[in-house]
Amino acid sequence: MQRLVTASTATPAIRGTRPGGRGGARRRIRFQPAWLFVAPSLAILLIFIIFPIFQSFWFSLHNWRIGADVQEWVGVANYRRLFADDLFWNALRVTLVFSVVSVVAQMVLGYWAASALLRDTWFNKIVRSIFFFPTIVALATIGLVWRFLLDPSIGLVGGVTAAIGAEPIPWLQDTGLALPTVIFVSVWKNLGFTMVILLAGLTGVPAHLYEAAKIDGANERQLTWHVTMPSIRPTLLFTTMILTINSLQVFDLVYVMTNGGPLFATDTLVTMMFREGFTNFDIGYASAIAWVLFALIMILSALQLRLFRYRDVD
Amino acid sequence: MRRIAPAIAATVVAALALSGCSQPAAESNGPVELTMWTGFTGGDRGAYEGLIEEFNATHDDIQVTMEVQPWDTIAQKLPSAWATGQGPDLATPNFDSNIVAKYLDTSSLLALDNVGDGDTQINADKLAPAAIDAFTVDGALYAVPANIATLQLYYNKALFEAAGIDGPPTTVDEFRDDAKSLTGDGVYGLSLADHETIQMWPILQWLDGGDVVDADGCSVLDSPANIESLTAWSKLVQDGVAPVGLTGAESDALFSAGQAAMQLNGPWAATGYTDAGIDLGVAAVPVGVDGPVTLGSTVPLAISAATKHPDEAQEFLAWWTGKDAQRQFALASGFPPVRTDLADDAELAANPVVTAFAAALPSARLWLPGVADATRVDSEVYVTLIGEITRGSDVAGAVAAATDKVNAITGCNG
Amino acid sequence: MLTSVRLALKWVFLGVGIVVILVPFIWMIAGSFRSEADLFAAPESLFPTEWTLRGYQSIWEELPFLRLLLNSFIFAGVTTALLLLFDSLCAYALARINFRGSTLLFWLVIATLMIPFQVTLIPVFIELFHFGWLDTYQGLIIPRATSAFGIFMLRQFFQSIPKELDEAARIDGAGHLRIYWRIILPLAKPALATLAVLHFMNLWNDLLWPLIVTSSTDMRTLPAGLTLFGGQHVTDHAVLLAGATISLVPLALAFFLAQRYFVAGVATTGLK
């Protein structure tokens, strides 16, 4: 391998990549212009996100009490306690169910909505806006609104069911119904977001691909599977990953609607983490939950990349 | 074009630099400025703001600014704020009085030494004993009650009339019977909440002579009295006399909508119910087998150990718990005064809400006072227990499991 | 025949969707005009039986409303502007410049998406204290001035822009900065517009962050200020719903205005 004489760039020698950018050589500056580009973002991420994340890992290795002069080191005891905790396994189950169901529902419904509203007619524009409304509204308030609507005694939904002669259903009080209801509201709230991104992807598929396929005699279903899907694969990957990562961390909606109840039926990992950290003041334990969740998300994201047959820089 | 990036960078740097430059001027000879964080959002807020205004108007040398934030936010920020030596001089760390122990763990609270009988001293022996007990640890007082509330029985007079019942129940058995008779036609006899609420179920247990933990923090949930009590009440729920799984807010909404005939609630609810058009009556909680009893709840108001003005802060607490302030507060909010020597006060006696709730003070018990890790006992064990038995779980089995969990949390060796 | 069945199904689903989406909004907006008494007397009714402006009046009288609105605009607006700048710069480098550590950096960026925000709350709060940024605009804005989501999305987008355009510009003597500014950014308008709207919305509605950074009412944003009305015991519904309705207006406007960017414009250079 060639050793370049000008390998006196600021970056340390990590083998494989070539030193110095094309732009850099141009201006006779010895540093990578790339780092200038990434500097502001990187600085903010490092200071305000990455460093705190490592701090939280440090917390998880202690019986951390905020303000204590000396923190008690416990090593992996928090993690061991976590894996022996029934509430943790419950929260894990709830989180996974929530994520799988809501992501699948959003992708299916979002894709359907995007393709149904693809053309730029006035009607479509209006309906798209309507579908996007839930994403715009503040979550705390809409949670309150839905709680009111779903109240079995005084809610609108209860009123409607009473009008058709059925018993009002305790949507958020029944241990079996609470999670599906929360999932429903979550899909309701985020559908517009998914639809918009998929819309962007769908409108980007070159028309000539469709024409060529139609000339070959492809029908509706074949067009979808063999032209649309492959073309929007990167968008699908991006959307699924983002939705999964977000839904595994769901907190605000659950907090506002059920706070993990009834009887922990909707207790997600972050809800549990919040309770342990800020109600029970057990920061070390809460941080351990966060890191287990982090590991889980990394694994699932890697799996998704594999599933979508991601090749580098696609 | 190329100049824009450096220009932006310069702006950012300038902003950063400026932030360091805006230090407040050093303390001059003006009034001492105290900041106070409280969680009194919503309807409660007005009465507290009134107190602050009054204090600031009558004290030239001390000015207090109250910053109201949601309770959650205080729970998130206050420990760090006080630990780093910043943060407010005074604060109500939580609506739960058990929080004092957690902040004492990290030595964040100032021990109140300006206690005595003088006007500018905290008259601790004249304040509600239950609250002072809860805030005294190892002989030192660490907080005063920002408020103290009791639960009484709200009842819907119109619904009582319609069911042909003369007046509110006065004994436990009448309580249960009336609740049953009042149920029907889309109306619940009793509106109960079991989570995210000031706890009502403990009162039901106390009425029958049961309890949750004893003085050592060991669970007494599996006592025969308890099992009987919980069985009786959960049967009522399952028979449709009371709703299942409601939060405090939902339970209030039910009563506001006239769909429940009775509810155990605090003084804050009175105005809302009257505004909602309910023909409202307030009565004492029916007398239990051991005598009158109800739940009391008090919010601690404490001073940061790192405050720069301990004397002024204590003076403020002394004023807050003084006769004038408490009279003003009670009249404005309907809460009973935290002082026990205002019983004869004419103005207060004329206010029906205040008298009704103040009358219950002597028999009020706090929820899980002095229990280690009380929040965990409450949220993980008690709420779960009530949730299970009201949904049909076998009571004996549920309390046995709950007992084990409680003892594990509190470290009881029973 | 199958087509007409499918068409009918499409209309049914669209109809159901529209109703399910609109009803809560109508309830919310109508509810902001209802008195407490009315809300509980006729809770199943969608519309008020008694109209009142008390909700809106209370907001006006009890909150420094204009100040809160201004704070919200400053926070959401400036942060979004900075976000677009920083994220696009970073995304450009990741997409177009082949430099050492770019893969590592990309994974680092993605990794930051995988930690719940609540975890970093306390450390960030303490950091802000040490910088003296609590209760200030810079404290609100700077920590949020970049977003891993934005970097990720823009990187994907930039990669879809044909490299030939870059080459052509390079032949003309342009360096990275000029390519970024003159070629990539203009082509990325749809993605930038989408990102701008999504971020503005998120920041405008953000409740937790402003509550953490600010303590004084004067520095609060609108959603944070509205928490004053949601009590532990007693909630003033008309006010909360009125506040939510008011909060909605600028966002709905921003969305309508940006619509022509992110849907129509995307037709030419989709997110590939």
Task: Kindly report, residue by residue over C14-54, the tens digit of the pLDDT.
Answer: 899 999 999 998 988 888 888 877 877 777 778 887 788 88
Question: Residue C98 belongs to what domain range?
Answer: 64-224+242-267
The closest CB to that of A154, out of B245, B259, B384, belongs to: B259
- Which sign, positive or negative, has the C-alpha torsion B218, B223, B229, B232? positive
| Cα(B230)–Cα(B393) distance, integer angstroms | 11
- Chain A, residues 215-274, CB within 8 A of chain B, namely 259, 261-264
Least confident of A80-89, B35-44, B310-319, C250-259: C250-259
Query: In sequence order, which ranges of B259-349 are alpha helices (DSSP H)?
Result: 269-275, 310-320, 323-333, 346-349
Which residue type, as a one-letter code, is found at position C243?
Answer: G
Q: Is A147 on the interface with B (CB under 8 A)?
A: yes
| Cα(C210)–Cα(B282) distance, integer angstroms | 40
- Kindly report the average pLDDT of chain A as a whole number: 82
- State how far Cα B68 lies from the chain centre: 16
A280-296, pLDDT tens digit by residue? 888 899 999 999 999 99
Q: Where are the domains of chain B?
A: 32-150+298-365, 152-284+371-410
pLDDT of B168 over the 70 cut: yes
Q: What is the bridge-based pairing of β-strands B260-265 and B188-191?
A: parallel
Query: Structurally, how many domains does chain C consist of?
Result: 1
Q: Is B195 on the interface with A (CB under 8 A)?
A: yes
pLDDT attached to residue A11: 38
Q: Is B85 on the interface with C (CB under 8 A)?
A: no
Closest among B174, B409, B154 to B294, alpha carbons compared: B154
ipTM: 0.84
Question: Does the residue C42 lie in any domain?
Answer: no
Q: Is B12 on the interface with A (CB under 8 A)?
A: yes
DSSP H or E segment with residue A303: helix A283-307
- In this prediction, residue A210 has a pLDDT band, given cuts at 50, 70 and 90, of confident
Q: Is B384 on the interface with A (CB under 8 A)?
A: yes
* Residues of chain A neighbouring B376 (CB-CB closer than 8 A): 280
Question: Residue A277 belongs to what domain range?
Answer: 84-307
Instruction: Give, as one character, the DSSP assignment of residue A139.
Output: H
Residue of chain C minimizing CA distance to A44: C143
Q: What is the CATH number of the domain that holds C134?
A: 1.10.3720.10
Q: A225: which residues sit within 8 A by CB, 6+ positions away?
A: none
| Cα(B185)–Cα(A28) distance, integer angstroms | 87
B373-410, pLDDT tens digit by residue? 888 999 999 999 999 999 999 999 999 999 999 999 98
- Kindly report the average pLDDT of chain B as a whole number: 88
- Chain A, residues 45-74, CB within 8 A of chain B, namely 65-68
pLDDT attached to residue C262: 54
* Residues of chain A neighbouring B107 (CB-CB closer than 8 A): 67
pLDDT attached to residue C47: 82
- In this prediction, residue B6 has a pLDDT band, given cuts at 50, 70 and 90, of low
* Residues of chain B neighbouring C139 (CB-CB closer than 8 A): 19
Interchain pair A281, B383: CB under 8 A: no
Q: B173: which residues sit within 8 A by CB, 6+ positions away?
A: none
Question: Does the residue A44 lie in any domain?
Answer: no
A72-103, pLDDT tens digit by residue? 899 899 999 999 999 999 999 999 999 999 99
Residue in the block written with tokens 């964040």: B108
DSSP3 helix / strand / coil % (chain B, rounded to 5):
45, 20, 35
Least confident of A80-84, B23-27, C149-153: B23-27
Residue B369 token pair:
């006072």
* Residues of chain A neighbouring C24 (CB-CB closer than 8 A): 134, 142, 145-146, 149
Closest among B59, B108, B52, B51 to B79, alpha carbons compared: B108
Closest among A104, A149, A156, A111 to A304, alpha carbons compared: A104
Q: B37: which residues sit within 8 A by CB, 6+ positions away?
A: B66, B67, B68, B69, B74, B78, B87, B88, B90, B91, B92, C215
Residue in the block written with tokens 């709905």: C252
3-state secondary structure of B289: coil
- State how far Cα A160 lies from the chain centre: 34
B152-284+371-410: in CATH 3.90.700.10: no
In this structure, are residues B330 and B337 in contact, taking their beta carbons and an 8 Å threshold?
Answer: yes
Question: Does the residue A52 lie in any domain?
Answer: no
- In this prediction, residue A5 has a pLDDT band, given cuts at 50, 70 and 90, of very low
The closest CB to that of B41, out of C132, C215, C228, belongs to: C228
pLDDT attached to residue C2: 66
Identify the chains in contact with B, defined as 3+ C-beta pairs within 8 A: A, C
pTM confidence score: 0.85
Which residue type, as a one-letter code, is found at position A128?
Answer: R
- State how far Cα A58 lies from the chain centre: 25
pLDDT attached to residue C1: 52
Q: What is the bridge-based pairing of β-strands B136-137 and B143-150?
A: unpaired
Query: In sequence order, which ranges of chain A are alpha helices (DSSP H)?
Result: 22-27, 33-45, 51-60, 77-83, 86-116, 122-136, 139-150, 156-163, 178-203, 207-215, 220-223, 229-231, 233-248, 252-257, 269-274, 283-307
pLDDT of B7 over the 50 cut: no
Mean pLDDT of C243-248: 86
In this structure, are residues A157 and A166 in contact, taking their beta carbons and an 8 Å threshold?
Answer: no
Q: Is B240 on the interface with A (CB under 8 A)?
A: no
Question: Does the residue A74 lie in any domain?
Answer: no
* Residues of chain A neighbouring B377 (CB-CB closer than 8 A): none
pLDDT attached to residue A20: 43
| Cα(A75)–Cα(A79) distance, integer angstroms | 9
| Cα(C27)–Cα(A148) distance, integer angstroms | 10
Q: Is A108 on the interface with C (CB under 8 A)?
A: no
In this structure, are residues B262 and B165 in contact, taking their beta carbons and an 8 Å threshold?
Answer: no
DSSP B87-136: S-SEE---SSTTHHHHHHHTT-B--B--BSSSTTSB-GGGB-HHHHHHHE
Q: Is C27 on the interface with A (CB under 8 A)?
A: yes
Output the CA–CA distances (angstroms, integers) from residue B236 to A263, B174, B176, C171, in the order listed: 20, 13, 8, 84
> Is it true that the peptide bond before A262 is cis, omega within 30 degrees of 0?
yes
DSSP H or E segment with residue B283: strand B280-283
Burial status of residue A72 (CB atoms within 10 A of its CB: 0-12, 13-18, 19 or more): exposed
Q: Is B72 on the interface with A (CB under 8 A)?
A: yes
In this structure, are residues B147 and B298 in contact, taking their beta carbons and an 8 Å threshold?
Answer: yes
Question: Does the residue A259 lie in any domain?
Answer: yes
Question: Does the residue A77 lie in any domain?
Answer: no
Mean pLDDT of B348-374: 89
> Domain B32-150+298-365 belongs to what topology?
D-Maltodextrin-Binding Protein; domain 2 (3.40.190)
Q: A295: which residues sit within 8 A by CB, 6+ positions away?
A: none
In this structure, are residues B222 and B399 in contact, taking their beta carbons and an 8 Å threshold?
Answer: yes
In this structure, are residues A257 and A182 in contact, taking their beta carbons and an 8 Å threshold?
Answer: yes
- In this prediction, residue B277 has a pLDDT band, given cuts at 50, 70 and 90, of confident
Output the CA–CA distances (angstroms, integers) from residue B321 to A284, B88, B328, C197, in the order listed: 37, 20, 11, 51
Give the A:B interface size as CB pairs under 8 Å: 67
Q: What is the CATH number of the domain that holds A115?
A: 1.10.3720.10
Long-range contacts of A3-9 (CB under 8 A, 24+ apart): none
* Residues of chain A neighbouring B9 (CB-CB closer than 8 A): 40
pLDDT of C135 over the 60 cut: yes
CB atoms within 10 A of CB B163: 17
Q: Please list the residues that pair with C34 across neighbouring strands.
A: C51
| Cα(A215)–Cα(A236) distance, integer angstroms | 26
Question: Does the residue A313 lie in any domain?
Answer: no
3-state secondary structure of C236: coil
Query: Structurally, how many domains does chain A consist of?
Result: 1
Residue B248 token pair:
């405090």
Residue B307 token pair:
């405050």
pLDDT attached to residue B84: 81
More confident residue, A253 or A25: A253
**A66-75, A119-128, A207-216, B297-306, range with greatest mean pLDDT:** B297-306
| Residue of B108, B185, B246, B383 to mutate, testing the A interface (most A Cβ within 10 Å of its Cβ) | B246
* Residues of chain B neighbouring A259 (CB-CB closer than 8 A): 195-196
- State how far Cα A212 lies from the chain centre: 36
- Chain C, residues 122-151, CB within 8 A of chain A, namely 122-124, 127, 142-143, 145-146, 148-149, 151
In terms of phi and psi (left: phi > 0; alpha: psi -120 to 50; beta: otherwise), the region of A214 is: alpha
Closest among C114, C120, B87 to A283, alpha carbons compared: C120
Question: Does the residue A89 lie in any domain?
Answer: yes
| Cα(B257)–Cα(C38) distance, integer angstroms | 9
B180-203, pLDDT tens digit by residue? 999 988 899 999 999 988 999 999
Which residue type, as a one-letter code, is found at position A134?
Answer: P
Instruction: Give, as one character, the DSSP assignment of residue B30.
Output: S
In this structure, are residues A117 and C11 in contact, taking their beta carbons and an 8 Å threshold?
Answer: no
Instruction: Give, as one character, the DSSP assignment of residue A228.
Output: I
Interchain pair C177, B2: CB under 8 A: yes
Closest among B290, A177, A131, A176 to C15, alpha carbons compared: A131
3-state secondary structure of B226: helix
Q: Is B281 on the interface with A (CB under 8 A)?
A: no
Question: Does the residue C34 lie in any domain?
Answer: no
| Cα(B311)–Cα(B118) distance, integer angstroms | 14
